[in-house]
Chain A
Amino acid sequence: GAGVSQSPSNKVTEKGKDVELRCDPISGHTALYWYRQSLGQGLEFLIYFQGNSAPDKSGLPSDRFSAERTGGSVSTLTIQRTQQEDSAVYLCASSITPEGNTIYFGEGSWLTVV
């Protein structure tokens, strides 16, 4: 597609439920990134993929968070047993390579845990 596509754009879920957030990067971009932005806060790095592998998972907040990428394209961020503090905007981005290229962001998935 022309840009980074994320779905769902909005998600309201009950505490304790699992959620899956999807990211479809720009075609041909080998690097894919997940960030989290809480209300009024800056961006928090979660994980990045080079192809299908994740060289840096250091930002994942807890073992309830996991991510995968298949076919060097679509990525899914899964949050298990959601908590209220997980409420945030989850932003996905992609770039041609991880080094030195412009990063393009999607519109984000707004997650609210009630």
Chain B
Amino acid sequence: KQEVTQIPAALSVPEGENLVLNCSFTDSAIYNLQWFRQDPGKGLTSLLLIQSSQREQTSGRLNASLDKSSGRSTLYIAASQPGDSATYLCAVSTNAGKSTFGDGTTLTVKP
């Protein structure tokens, strides 16, 4: 059974700081890994999708890496802004149609 763990559960940083969120998973036989953002009371917004054959994906100030063999992914956020405050979730797909989500990291960026 796939298990996904995100560390830390919560993180508070001053504006402008670079930061790294971590995601680990137990079953390395994955289709892909996806990072999402969830704002309070809202649905999930996809940030980055990394296929199992890829090592990283970049979008603007976000960079996600994937080390499938070690069961790890990181989400790097450069030059953080207050608008980045949200909960960040990673999801791993090991069977077609089923993704297992971590519990998320709640990020607060202080002005």
Q: Which residues of A contact B (CB under 8 A)?
A: 4, 31, 33, 35, 41-43, 45, 48, 50, 55-56, 58-59, 91, 93, 98-108
Contact = CB atoms under 8 A, between A and B. Distances in A.
Given A42-B89, A42-B103, A43-B89, A105 B45 contact: yes
A47 B31 CA distance: 18
Nearest to B47: A102
Interface residues of B, number: 24
Nearest to B104: A42
Contacts of B93: 99-100
A100 B32 contact: yes
Contacts of A98: 96-97
B103 A105 contact: no
A50 B93 CA distance: 15
B41 to A, nearest CB: 8
By CB atoms of chain B within 10 A, which of A35, A42, A101 has the most? A42
Nearest to A110: B41
